[in-house]
A and B are shown apart, each in its own frame.
Chain A
């Protein structure tokens, strides 16, 4: 067993785990943050996407011990208590989710996409950006709409701030 220490959603957290424990299992089972999901075992589906040191990462593709010392944001920490991040709000407004299982990973990927390419996104680049996230319910139609709407909303926010 190895001790892993992380900053998760702004709080220092630590726990012991086997060396082979994937970060996603550490987050779900040791930290009790079950919003991050496991939908496959080949790093294809993206249900486990979190932000690690500011970038989106499939938390099934990294060992918990490798992540030790890093700063993690999970879906639970994306917005303040009781609030929705603009991407979360856009998913609700545009019905970008149905069963909700892929949703945390989708939202975390979308936030990262907007962080990196915000203001320049098109339907085509959003679809390309979602290549690593599988949804079986929505046909992606409303997810794409939601991300484009959130991008526009956040761009307006950025302009207002400037």
Chain B
């Protein structure tokens, strides 16, 4: 471990610009002649558009133009798509309804875009949008997943009768039913996973620039994956061919999944720039973000878990209904299927598993991946069930988990995943020790003496990251491969640019990726720049989500570095008249092993570009590209423990301690990994205690501002206790598993297990607000 290499706690290279106000986010961009967009959006959850009268709006001060969905359609701009095909168990393909970027005849959720106004200022665009008169015929709406499947429910898309998108299954239903029939004990539970809004602090924004002379488009956008945005806008939405479309995702202020997708606004601003002849910038306000950013979670599940007389799990049966909202977002179909049901084995050896998943349309914001994406739903379901089973069976939650842990690897689950490495008991032991589990009874007695209720709860999570082997996801329906690319470009003076298809929006890639290179070559970290987020600079990439940038993105850099080093060694061997096999790279020099002969790194770089004295036949230059396609998913796992104290008079939950023990494989920068866990836990606590997207019966979003949607604030949270028990991942060159989502996955069940432990029964749903906890305590009395 060097001071700047892998494993070092290096402070971040990117921090200074963010700390001094020099970050460059999409809304900070201005270009000559730029104008501002505002969208006319539906105030109804479900309605026919009878007429749009823009006469008054177009006459308003500063208005350049107003464009609607019919014009967009006439210009051949395509509908938005879901890029992951799922087939129902009867073999029929998922039933995808049309999603027009601007609604043409029907609106299906509050916030559905109808028209764009372009004006000299944001205020003038907004004034004009408010003057547009849309004649609606209101239709009945449905917002709940279960209600949407009921007979007589309002029908949202003609393509999907009964609002059912697909009815999918995984696993062995007969084996599961037989095991349940033969079980010594069956735990049954209904699990609700609440609906969330991701809420990165930077609202979405986009700047579309059309160049008439070159017939070329530039799109600045708040994206986690600009190359995918270019691919999709080009291949499916007919915005422009790829060579005529540049997508730039500059500094991006958080994503958490919500900035993976290609939304209507990017497409429309590019198109509007061509129509109006001016660059068009749109920036979401926070209410628009609640109304249009893809939401997360929203599952209703029924669970049966069967045990034998030795408390070993013999089967798991899950029936889930997932709410996908009004339209199928880009990866929405994958979240409640292959990112969810494939993790239902958890950390446990379960011989038989069956999951049935129905996805439904409702008159709500489209639902897609949010930090964890399917894995929090699986973990919450399993860990609430395990906790409930332990209480029913009269054994400690730790003992029930220990009895059922998977202990040898590789382990093939009944639901596709093949776990490659792990030590679940190590994390459980570390967490229990850190939390002083053994001392809980005494602490509870102290709380009771003060009139408080105290509870403790654990959760043992596993997730699948390093997304993903391209052929495997292709066979499961993915429309893209999930490899990553890297280019290592050594300049003539020896400084290095690393071009990556990953994208950093808070994860610190400019530091961790540079640490990898600095450690390998022994050159100063300041001499390395990481380049990302621009389709004109980086050839291709799949972006950042699913905790994949370390395991997949850095592995691509390793491959490119291997090639650079091999060529550099050839040059050095030639310069020193030594054998290539004897050259080693250390401390910024290429040395002949066992001698005092060496050449500095920069001299080899220079030699490659002067090309005066290269090995015969060698091409000049020192620049290599690599694509890395993972061979398997990675499987981060761990154990989280929450301890809470509840005031029975108010129902308020105080998190007394929160302990996380994680196995992320090898770690590049512990400081950054800890930061990822902190943030994930905060979002998980948010889900468990505070956050909930709520609609009224007409489909109006009641939680569309920070006055109504409870974001976790500093005084809602404790400091966290973290530790790592790392088993290196055997599947990638760095042994990395990924750490971005674990906190959000492991924490909600730990919290709810703790709170239900305190209140003494299980009748509690997330978020466990003071009102709900207080009501639950009255039920207990």
Contact = CB atoms under 8 A, between A and B. Distances in A.
A134 B686 CA distance: 12
Contacts of A135: 201, 714
A75 B706 CA distance: 24
B20 interface: yes
A39 B201 contact: yes
Contacts of B20: 35, 75-76, 78-79, 84, 88
Instruction: Tell me the dominant secondary structure on chain B's binding face.
Output: loop
Interface string B703-746: 00111000111110101100000000000000000000001000
B21 A99 contact: no
B678 A100 contact: no
Contact of B671 (A20, A95, A130, A140): A95
A123 interface: yes
B253 A100 contact: yes
Interface stretch (A63-71, A102-110, A153-161): A102-110
Given A45-B706, A95-B671, A141-B720, A102 B201 contact: yes
A134 B705 CA distance: 13
Interface string B10-23: 01101111111111
A35 B22 contact: yes
B282 interface: no
B506 interface: yes
Contact of A98 (B22, B283, B506): B506
A130 B714 contact: yes
> Could you say which of B22, B24, B508, B719 has the most chain A C-beta atoms within 10 Å of its C-beta?
B719
A124 B743 CA distance: 23
Interface in A99-142: 99-104, 107, 123-124, 126-128, 130-131, 133-142
Given A131-B714, A136-B711, A141-B719, A36 B21 contact: yes
B715 A128 contact: yes
B679 A139 contact: yes
B304 interface: no
A21 B21 CA distance: 21
A103 B12 CA distance: 14
B203 A138 contact: no
B202 A99 contact: yes
Nearest to A20: B123
B101 interface: no
Contact of A99 (B24, B252, B719): B252
A162 interface: no
B451 interface: no
Contacts of A88: 19-20
A144 B15 CA distance: 17
B201 A140 contact: no
A130 B713 contact: yes
B517 to A, nearest CB: 21
B286 interface: yes
A99 B506 contact: yes
A57 interface: no
B203 A92 contact: no
Contacts, number: 184
B159 interface: no
A53 interface: no
B129 to A, nearest CB: 15
Given A127-B714, A131-B714, A136-B200, A99 B253 contact: yes
A33 B21 contact: yes
Contacts of B23: 35, 100-101, 103
A136 B21 contact: no
Nearest to B9: A95
Given A35-B21, A39-B201, A79-B20, A134 B711 contact: yes
A92 B11 contact: yes
Please tell me the size bucket of the interface on B: 35 or more
Interface string B588-631: 00000000000000000000000000000000000000000000
A91 interface: yes
A44 interface: yes
A41 B14 CA distance: 28
Contact of A134 (B17, B201, B251, B672): B201
Nearest to B713: A131
Interface in B516-530: none
Contact of B706 (A103, A124, A134): A134
A34 interface: yes
A40 interface: yes
B221 interface: no
Interface in B348-381: none
B764 interface: no
A59 interface: no
Contacts of B254: 98-99, 101, 136-137
A97 B678 contact: no
Nearest to B19: A88
B675 A138 contact: yes
A78 B251 CA distance: 21
A24 to B, nearest CB: 12
Contacts of B743: 139
A76 B11 CA distance: 21
> Could you say which of B22, B123, B679 has the most chain A C-beta atoms within 10 Å of its C-beta?
B679
Contact of A139 (B505, B672, B682): B682
B200 to A, nearest CB: 6
Question: Closest 10 interchain pairs by CB?
Answer: A35-B21, A100-B18, A101-B253, A139-B682, A99-B506, A44-B706, A98-B506, A139-B678, A75-B21, A130-B714
Given A34-B25, A34-B27, A92-B15, 19 more contacts: A42-B706, A45-B201, A47-B201, A75-B19, A88-B20, A91-B15, A92-B12, A92-B19, A98-B506, A101-B253, A127-B715, A130-B714, A131-B714, A136-B201, A136-B254, A137-B254, A137-B679, A139-B678, A141-B719
27 contacts: A21-B123, A28-B28, A33-B21, A38-B283, A39-B286, A41-B285, A44-B705, A44-B706, A44-B711, A75-B21, A84-B20, A88-B19, A91-B19, A92-B11, A92-B12, A92-B15, A95-B12, A98-B507, A98-B679, A99-B254, A100-B19, A101-B253, A127-B717, A128-B715, A137-B675, A137-B679, A142-B678
Interface of A: 18, 20-21, 25, 28, 33-42, 44-45, 47, 74-76, 78-79, 84, 88, 91-93, 95, 97-104, 107, 123-124, 126-128, 130-131, 133-145
Interface of B: 11-12, 14-25, 27-28, 121-123, 199-203, 251-254, 256, 283, 285-287, 505-508, 671-672, 674-675, 678-683, 705-707, 711-715, 717, 719-720, 743
